[in-house]
């Protein structure tokens, strides 16, 4: 095996955070020293040396008279990791409190602190009268050897054995390797030991695969030429092979999926400087192994990834698109589509892709919501495609629905869930079609009367030249399926899949060139990597149900789930999940879905919940709380939150208008989120629907009262409609609550809303 002489550099997330706190002149000097180090680590001015009292692979490099950078430098090979930068003494003390090593069981590069782990669990210990009175440790069922096999470093075993309950497991989390904590959490929450071990083995195998892939793509020169190797003696050969094995061990460790949660390898000092110069968003650079596996998953057909709010579904979709555009469908003319349900999310996605992919690849990627794509396509085909205004549709229904047995909501749902879903155009088709999920059955005479209303509503739409989103998707899919019409995209990535219906997914399949159900694939057609779908059915806020296989999308063997929440704190996650407890949810393919194993790795404040008698009192409280969040600290310190990092989410447009007026009257900066997003730097104020797909450091979920739900109840409303509306309202509250990363404040007025619980 051979190795180049030029160093390969990686940096940890801790180093990046610390770098961004340096004064600009110090940061510039550090980048220059890294550039010099890349050319020759032994350059005298770098003072590259071992740290006193530390293992030989822990070294430091001079930045200037005051600062030093801490690096991990293996004895053999050319792989180095920047782990910290600080004042001289502080840098040494930081390193001395930590261990830096390759875990012998998992092969991952780990950084941890025995002292801090002991201190964390020690604060929870309760004195007992006798040693026998202490409760057993949380992992008493596993021997030490079994815990070590999961990646628990030997020096951390006493601390792990001191964990008695969930509180101890939470306390130790920041002080041990993340993958170690996740393995322990999995055991504590009921996963089998065999399953957790298998995950460890799979990630070790993935590290080996990545090493082979890197070396196959980048042939390298080594210590000795083939002639020199042929002439070396047995002892020389053994020594060389040992050096090569040690160098490969470190290179493999830096490529390990668990290492790359916190370690970013770069190709050069120039790339490192470019990364450090961009706004630091960890998700762009450091992926969880469950995410990175999905990003580069070489698929033989369509795939579907589900996950609770904040698990990184959009992150995976973005990185997947980058991988597809740069590595899989990289030829000129191979276009790709990233599509969503909402109109707001594409703007965010487009801006993010601008900074993630190469210019050439970005030019071949379209980012647009699905119905927007369908409308543009139909207009290019010469068809007027005017989308029906949502506020006018209710008036149309009231025109055509007679006084009688069923309310407007019944007809509206029958239209969406039976007629539009199945594309029914005549009475006979409607009489024969099963009404799945529609509650009490209708007799044949009742169906005929209902169909008269359906026909009248369709006539009103056609008179005005209006189409509903389902009409757009159906007509676009039909035109794409015409003989000789090529699929417009080599690959499609779908986000917000839970809000699409089957008509939409038939269009998605056509966009990716996937044959219709039962139809043969064209000769030479390859389904590999064509379609990638992500979503969270628990965030479904529209009354739609999907079975992908009925749309020609076969995900058998290619369905995965994300369980780790990276956005919100555990406290916010628990509060939000409680809102949707008991709501039945499907997995987009006809089976039940659950949030089992869904957990957040961050901790924070419990959500604040308040109730007021009158709306004006709630408004005054919102002004007061925003003043606290945006107030400067002592001695002119920056406010805790920038205005644009805070969002006030409200049920209706009228609520948004009133609250925005109140905040402006209090001299608070305000920007209302509309169809075009928010354009200023003020506090975001929006309807609950508008914040879908977004995130903020702090969210104020306001305006809740006992009578609120997504649609106002109607006289005579059938139970199925009432329950569906209640479930969607709970799902919407779950969506809004999980937009908050650090802080959630919930408030309402009048008759208490159930979400407020026992709020004061």
DSSP assignment of 94-147, as one string? HHHT-EEEE-TTT--EEEE-HHHHHHHHHTT----SSGGGSPPPTTTTS-HHHH
The dihedrals phi and psi of 31, each to the nearest 5 degrees, come to -60, -40
451 compared with 228, residue with greater pLDDT = 451
The pLDDT of residue 202 is 92
| 373 pLDDT more than 50 | yes
Mean pLDDT along residues 348-359? 90
What is the enclosing helix (H) or strand (E) of 193? helix 193-217
Of residues 649 and 1, which shows the higher confidence score? 649
34-38, 130-134, 159-163, 686-690 — which is least confidently predicted? 130-134
Going through 317-473 in order, the beta strands assigned E by DSSP cover 336-340, 365-369, 386-387, 466-467
> Is pLDDT above 60 for 219?
no
The 10 Å CB-count burial string (b at 16+, else e) for 269-291 is beebbeebeeeeeebbbbbbbbb
d(CA 684, CA 669): 9
In contact, 649 and 739? CB cutoff 8 Å? yes
Order of strands across the sheet that contains 491-494: 365-369, 336-340, 491-494, 531-535, 303-307, 559-562
Q: Which two tokens stand for residue 340?
A: 């969503």
What pLDDT, on the 0 to 100 scale, is given for residue 727?
83
**Residue 315 pLDDT greater than 50, yes or no:** yes
CA distance 741 to 602: 9
Q: Lowest-pLDDT range, 198-202, 214-218, 349-353, 618-622?
A: 214-218
Long-range contacts from 190-196, C-beta under 8 angstroms, 24+ separation: 191/597, 193/142, 193/146, 196/150
Mean pLDDT of 128-139: 61
**Residue length of the chain:** 760
Strand order in the sheet with 740-749: 608-612, 740-749, 696-704, 646-650, 683-687, 670-672
Mean pLDDT of 443-453: 93
List of residues 6+ apart from 316 with CB closer than 8 A: 287, 291, 294, 295, 305, 534, 562
**Which strand ranges, in their side-by-side order, compose the sheet holding 67-72?**
49-50, 58-62, 67-72, 79-87, 8-12, 263-266
Query: Using only C-alpha atoms, what is the Rg of the chain?
Result: 29
Yes or no: say if 482 and 452 are a contact pair by the CB < 8 Å rule: no
Rounded to an integer, the average pLDDT of 247-258 is: 92
- Confidence grade of residue 470 (pLDDT, cut at 50, 70, 90): very high
Q: State the Cα–Cα distance between residues 391 and 395, nearest whole angstrom.
A: 8
CA 417/CA 502 separation, integer angstroms: 10
pLDDT band (50, 70, 90) for residue 158: very high
pLDDT, average across residues 185-197: 91
Q: What is the largest CA-CA distance in the chain?
A: 100
User: Which of helix, strand or coil describes residue 646?
Assistant: strand
Rounded to an integer, the average pLDDT of 477-482 is 94
Residue 439 structure tokens: 């509650």
Residue 683: pLDDT above 70? yes
Cα(323)–Cα(336) distance, rounded to whole angstroms? 11
Q: Residue 131's pLDDT band (boundaries 50, 70, 90)?
A: very low
Q: Which residues on adjacent β-strands are paired with residue 664?
A: none
pLDDT, tens only, 398-424: 999 998 778 888 898 899 889 998 889
CB 250 within 8 A of CB 79: yes
User: What's the rounded Cα separation, in Å, for the pair 717 and 721?
Assistant: 7
Q: Point out the least confidently predicted range of 4-18, 249-263, 419-433.
A: 4-18
CA dihedral 155→158→159→165, nearest 10 degrees, is 150
Average pLDDT over every residue of 379-392: 84
Tell me what the mean pLDDT of segment 374-401 comes to: 87
Q: What is the pLDDT of residue 635?
A: 62
User: Given this model, what pLDDT does residue 52 score?
Assistant: 85
Cα distance between residue 639 and residue 7, in whole Å? 42
Q: Indicate whether 574 pLDDT > 80.
A: yes
Q: What is the mean pLDDT of the chain?
A: 87
Q: What is the pLDDT of residues 69-103, one digit of tens each?
A: 999 998 888 889 999 999 999 999 999 999 999 99
Give the tens place of pLDDT for each residue, 524-560.
778 899 999 999 998 887 767 788 999 999 999 999 9
505: its two tokens: 């997914």
Given a contact cutoff of 8 angstroms between Cβ atoms, the answer to whether 542 and 499 are in contact is yes
Tell me what pLDDT residue 726 has.
Answer: 80
Confidence of residue 693 (pLDDT cuts 50, 70, 90): confident
CA distances in angstroms from 578 to 91, 227, 583, listed in the order given: 44, 69, 10
The 3 state secondary structure assigned to 515-551 is CCCCCCCCCCCCCCCCEEEEECHHHCCCCCCCEHHHH
pLDDT greater than 60 at residue 742: yes
Report pLDDT for 714. 47
Residue 2 has pLDDT above 50, yes or no: no
**Is the separation of the CB atoms in 565 and 573 below 8 Å?**
yes
Report pLDDT for 710: 52
Report yes or no: 324 and 491 within 8 Å, Cβ to Cβ: yes
Residue 361 to residues 298, 345, 364, 376, 492: CA-CA distances in angstroms?
19, 20, 5, 23, 14
Candidates 503, 528, 525; CA nearest to 515 is: 525
What pLDDT band is residue 208 in, cutting at 50, 70 and 90?
very high
Cα–Cα distances (Å) from 124 to 25, 38, 143, 642, in that order, read: 44, 46, 23, 35
pLDDT in the model for residue 48: 92
Rounded to 5 degrees, φ, ψ at 628 are -65, -45
Q: Residue 34 — pLDDT band, cuts 50, 70, 90?
A: very high
- Quick one: average pLDDT of 143-167? 94
Per the DSSP assignment, residues forming a β-bridge with 491 are: 336
Q: What is the arithmetic mean of pLDDT over 446-470? A: 93
Q: Give the highest mean pLDDT range of 235-244, 328-337, 419-428.
A: 328-337
Query: By three-state DSSP, how is residue 752 classified?
Result: coil
Residue 569 has pLDDT above 60, yes or no: yes
630-676 pLDDT, tens digit each:
986 666 566 789 999 999 999 999 999 999 999 999 999 999 998 77
**Residue 713: predicted pLDDT:** 47
What is the Cα 282 distance to its own chain's centre?
Answer: 12
Indicate whether 715 pLDDT > 50: no
- pLDDT level of residue 176 (50, 70, 90 thresholds): very high
Strands (E), 193-245: none
d(CA 18, CA 265): 17
pLDDT band at 388 (very low <50, low <70, confident <90, very high): confident
């Amino acid at each position: 095996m051979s190795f180049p002489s030029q160093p390969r550099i990686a940096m940890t997330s801790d180093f990046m955070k610390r770098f961004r706190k340096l004064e600009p002149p110090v940061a510039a000097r550090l980048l220059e020293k890294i550039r010099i180090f890349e050319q020759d680590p032994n350059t005298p001015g770098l003072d590259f040396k071992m740290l006193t009292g530390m293992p030989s692979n822990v070294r430091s490099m001079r930045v200037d008279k005051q600062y030093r950078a801490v690096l991990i430098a293996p004895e053999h090979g050319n792989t180095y990791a920047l782990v910290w930068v600080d004042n001289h003494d502080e840098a040494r003390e930081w390193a001395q409190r930590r261990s830096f090593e390759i875990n012998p069981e998992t092969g991952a590069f780990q950084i941890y602190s025995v002292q801090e782990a002991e201190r964390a669990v020690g604060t929870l210990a309760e004195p007992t009268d006798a040693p026998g009175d202490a409760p057993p440790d949380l992992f008493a069922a596993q021997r030490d050897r079994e815990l070590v096999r999961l990646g628990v470093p030997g020096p951390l075993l006493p601390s792990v054995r001191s964990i008695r309950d969930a509180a101890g497991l939470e306390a130790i989390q920041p002080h041990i390797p993340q993958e170690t904590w996740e393995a322990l959490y999995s055991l504590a929450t009921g996963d089998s030991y065999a399953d957790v071990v298998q995950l460890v083995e799979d990630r070790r195998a993935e590290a080996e695969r990545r090493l082979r892939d890197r070396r196959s793509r980048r042939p390298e020169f080594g210590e000795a030429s083939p002639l020199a190797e042929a002439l070396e003696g047995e002892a020389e050969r053994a020594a060389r092979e040992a050096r090569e094995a040690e160098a490969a061990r470190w290179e493999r460790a830096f490529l390990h999926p668990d290492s790359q949660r916190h370690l970013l390898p770069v190709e050069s000092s120039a790339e490192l400087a470019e990364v450090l110069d961009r706004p630091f968003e960890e998700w762009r650079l450091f992926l969880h192994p469950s995410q990175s596996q999905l990003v580069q998953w070489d698929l033989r057909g369509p795939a579907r990834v589900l996950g609770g709010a904040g698990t990184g579904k959009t992150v995976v979709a973005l990185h997947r698109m980058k991988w597809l555009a740069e590595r899989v469908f990289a030829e000129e003319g191979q276009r790709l589509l990233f599509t969503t349900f909402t109109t707001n999310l594409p703007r965010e996605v487009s801006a993010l892709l601008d900074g993630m992919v190469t210019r050439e690849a970005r030019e071949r990627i379209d980012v647009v919501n699905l119905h927007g794509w369908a409308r543009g396509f139909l207009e290019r085909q010469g068809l007027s495609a005017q989308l029906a205004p949502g506020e006018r549709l209710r008036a149309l229904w009231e025109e055509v629905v007679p006084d009688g047995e069923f309310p407007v909501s019944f007809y509206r749902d029958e239209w969406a869930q039976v007629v539009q879903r199945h594309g029914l155009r005549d009475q006979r088709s409607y009489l024969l079609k099963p009404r799945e999920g529609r509650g009490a059955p209708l007799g044949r005479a009742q169906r005929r009367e209902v169909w008269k209303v359906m026909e009248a509503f369709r006539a009103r739409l056609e008179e005005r030249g209006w189409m509903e989103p389902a009409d757009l998707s159906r007509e676009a899919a039909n035109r794409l399926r015409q003989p000789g019409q090529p699929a417009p995209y080599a690959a499609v990535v779908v986000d917000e899949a839970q809000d699409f219906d089957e008509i939409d997914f038939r269009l998605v399949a056509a966009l990716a060139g996937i044959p219709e159900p039962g139809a043969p694939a064209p000769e030479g057609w390859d389904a590999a990597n064509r379609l990638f779908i992500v979503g969270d059915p628990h965030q479904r806020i529209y009354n739609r149900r999907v079975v992908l296989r009925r749309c020609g999308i076969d995900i058998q063997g290619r369905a995965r789930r994300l369980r780790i929440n990276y956005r919100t704190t555990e406290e916010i996650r628990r509060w939000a999940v409680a809102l949707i407890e008991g709501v039945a949810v499907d997995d987009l393919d006809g089976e039940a879905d659950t949030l089992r194993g869904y957990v957040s790795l961050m901790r924070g404040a419990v959500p604040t919940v308040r109730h007021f008698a009158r709306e004006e009192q709630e408004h005054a409280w919102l002004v007061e709380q925003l003043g606290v969040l945006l107030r400067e600290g002592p001695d002119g310190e920056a406010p805790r939150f920038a205005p644009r990092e805070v969002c006030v989410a409200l049920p209706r447009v009228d609520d948004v208008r009133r609250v925005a007026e109140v905040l402006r009257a209090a001299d608070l900066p305000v920007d209302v989120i509309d169809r075009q997003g928010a354009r200023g730097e003020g506090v975001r104020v929006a309807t609950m629907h508008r914040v879908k797909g977004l995130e903020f450091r702090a969210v104020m979920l306001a305006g809740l009262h006992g009578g609120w739900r997504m649609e106002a109840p109607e006289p005579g409303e059938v139970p199925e409609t009432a329950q569906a509306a209640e479930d969607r309202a709970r799902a919407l509250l779950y969506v809004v609550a999980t937009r908050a990363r650090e802080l959630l404040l919930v408030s309402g007025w009048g008759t208490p809303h159930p979400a407020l619980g026992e709020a004061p």
